[in-house]
Amino acid sequence: TLIFQRRDGGALKIGNNVAIFRYNILETGYGGSLNIEDHVSIHPKCQINAYVSHIHIGRGTMLAPCCALYSYDH
């Protein structure tokens, strides 16, 4: 799992009992932040990019393999 925070990125908060499987990318930048609550599972090959805005993954969420979450302002 690659966890990357740009100099201008916001916080990356990970709760308790969070399972992050292989080959995931978690990034923050340009003022965005990422909050992952307790008991979350992120299965392989997901990409979560919190740029410009905040991404919040609630308690007990399970992301299937190959999910992509982006908070860009296009």
Q: What are the pLDDT digits (tens) for 3-49?
A: 666 677 788 899 999 999 999 999 888 889 999 999 999 999 999 99
The predicted model scores a pTM of: 0.87
pLDDT at residue 16 in the model: 96
72: phi then psi, degrees, rounded to nearest 5: -65, 160
- For residue 74, name the pLDDT band (cuts at 50, 70, 90): low
Average pLDDT over residues 42-66: 96
Distance CA 3, CA 41 (A): 16
